[in-house]
Amino acid sequence: QVQLVESGGGLVQPGGSLTLSCAASGRTFSRYVLGWFRQAPGKEHEFVAGISWSGDVTNYADSVKGRFTISRDNAKNTVYLQMNSLKPEDTAVYYCAADLYASRAITTTPGRYEIWGQGTQVTVSS
């Protein structure tokens, strides 16, 4: 059984920080592009960040560039999303996902990712 499990979400004040983790089990994801998406109530899935298999290529949505950092530890089959300077508009359920057909080219299209985690809620509010 292939699984992605996110953790690290929670409630944080504006300007605060959180680090999300996504652990893969049942399969080695070290060859594949991994991405983070988010979905706010009533909205579609939105690409947040992606990382190539080796970690040398990253891509970010304009809305998070300079505030969020994606990284991965292939030895631990884990991808991280460090989120700083959080804003209320960052409030959403955050999902990690794997693109099993890409190792370096990072797509921002949700439908191109085959494996998804269950999501973790991030709420930014005072």
The 10s digit of each residue's pLDDT in 32-53 is 899 999 999 999 999 999 999 9
Tell me which residue of 75, 78, 117 sits closest to 96, measured CA to CA: 117
Please report the pLDDT score of residue 47 as a whole number: 98
Across all residues in the chain, what is the average pLDDT?
94
The 10s digit of each residue's pLDDT in 61-101 is 999 999 999 999 999 999 999 999 999 999 999 999 999 88
Please report the pLDDT score of residue 80 as a whole number: 98
Please report the pLDDT score of residue 120 as a whole number: 98
| Rounded distance between C-alpha atoms, residue 39 and residue 22, angstroms | 16
96: Cα within 13 Å, side-chain hemisphere: 26
Q: Please state the rounded mean pLDDT for residues 106-118.
A: 95
